[in-house]
């Protein structure tokens, strides 16, 4: 066996080269680990199934727009902190970059009286839409979401369950739907009637949705028509409404996956977990606490059961009715 004897100078040169290569490899590895994770794949429904669920849909509502909305909004996470009764701070994180931005902090945020009680903080991760639980629960949530957007946008024969996603806005567009809001004041000349799959309405909801979707409340306040002219924005607005708790209402998402827990007020009002609670969140003032034969409520329930069967899911213990639930 032959041995190669290296000089001290040669050894030093080789050591330098080794250290340089080690540094480059380590740097490359670190850069690879720092790359953002891709959006969660949404595999609950195929394009064929989507088209089968909504055979008479307006061409505006496409499967590709729905999937794109799910994936793009799924990269957004909002931390919502409430002080006092209604003093808010929103921190919006883009999970693709890790960048967190404070997009709303109300004027009274730092007032002493607002800081007296502990803050209430919760996080809305839009990537959890129909993905947070087991496959059956996720399908039940998707069926519930589809049932409500089908009812909100239907324009056809009763009992056919083929006429969802036909309307892009509510029939009566003469109403302004304006409300007092310091954070989301209406823009002069704009109307905030119901638009999109979930019929988003009122300037407060448009501004709130715009903060969450775009990180800028002015986009939808200035141009509410985006919810009925851009199909991706339309579906994002519906998912935002589904996923985001309101001041006194839980998120429909949390109800459908069993995350929502009743408080004493809910129990006294007859509000219990199940599909009926989702109806109470969305349109309780019109459809709930009116007995089990309210037409709007019954239509939502029928759509829900129809879509469950189509998606190969079931809800045998469904509390579907909100007939005895008091609205918020």
Active site residues: 152
Residue 94 CB-density burial (10 A; 0-12 exposed, 13-18 middle, 19+ buried)? middle
Q: Are the CB atoms for 155 and 167 separated by under 8 Å?
A: yes
User: Is 107:84 a contact under the CB 8 Å cutoff?
Assistant: no
* Distance (Å, whole) CA 146 – CA 143: 5
- Compute CA distances 186 → 89, 104, 122, 194, 238, whole Å: 20, 17, 27, 15, 20
Distance CA 325, CA 249 (A): 13
End-to-end CA distance of the chain: 88
Q: Which structure tokens are listed for 314?
A: 């079931």
Distance CA 178, CA 319 (A): 34
Please give the distance of CA 182 from its chain centroid, rounded to a whole number.
24
* Token code pair at residue 83: 């002080």
DSSP 34-77: HSPPPPPP--S--HHHHHHH-TT--TTS-HHHHHHHHHHHTTEE
| Contact residues for 326 (Cβ-Cβ < 8 A; gap 6+) | 269, 270, 271, 284, 288, 289
């Amino acid at each position: 066996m032959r041995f190669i004897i290296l000089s001290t100078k040669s050894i030093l040169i080789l050591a330098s080269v080794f250290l340089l290569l080690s540094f480059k490899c380590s740097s490359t590895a670190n850069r690879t680990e720092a790359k953002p994770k891709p959006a969660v794949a949404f595999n609950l429904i195929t394009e064929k199934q989507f088209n089968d669920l909504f055979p008479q849909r307006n061409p505006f509502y496409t499967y590709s727009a729905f999937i794109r909305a799910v994936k793009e909004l799924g990269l957004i996470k909002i931390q919502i902190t409430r002080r006092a009764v209604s003093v808010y701070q929103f921190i919006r994180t883009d999970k693709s970059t890790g960048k967190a931005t404070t997009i709303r902090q109300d004027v009274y945020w730092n007032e002493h009286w607002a800081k007296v009680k502990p803050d209430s903080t919760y996080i809305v991760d839009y990537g959890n839409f129909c993905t947070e639980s087991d496959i059956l629960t996720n399908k039940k949530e998707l069926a519930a979401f589809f049932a409500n957007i089908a009812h909100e946008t239907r324009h056809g024969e009763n009992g056919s369950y083929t006429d969802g996603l036909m309307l892009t806005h509510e029939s009566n567009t003469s109403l302004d739907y304006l409300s007092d809001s310091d954070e989301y004041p209406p823009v002069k000349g704009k109307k905030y009637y119901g638009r999109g799959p979930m019929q988003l309405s009122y300037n407060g909801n448009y501004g709130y949705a715009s903060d969450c979707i775009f990180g800028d409340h002015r986009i939808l306040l200035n141009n509410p028509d985006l919810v009925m002219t851009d199909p991706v924005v339309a579906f994002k607005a519906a998912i935002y409404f589904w996923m985001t708790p309101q001041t006194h209402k839980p998120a429909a998402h949390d109800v459908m996956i069993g995350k929502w827990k009743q408080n004493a007020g809910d129990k006294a009002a007859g509000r219990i977990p199940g599909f009926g609670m989702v109806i109470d969140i969305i349109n309780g003032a019109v459809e709930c606490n009116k007995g089990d034969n309210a037409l709007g409520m019954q239509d939502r329930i029928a759509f829900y059961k129809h879509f469950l069967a189509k998606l190969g899911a079931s809800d045998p213990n469904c509390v579907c009715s909100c007939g005895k639930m008091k609205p918020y």
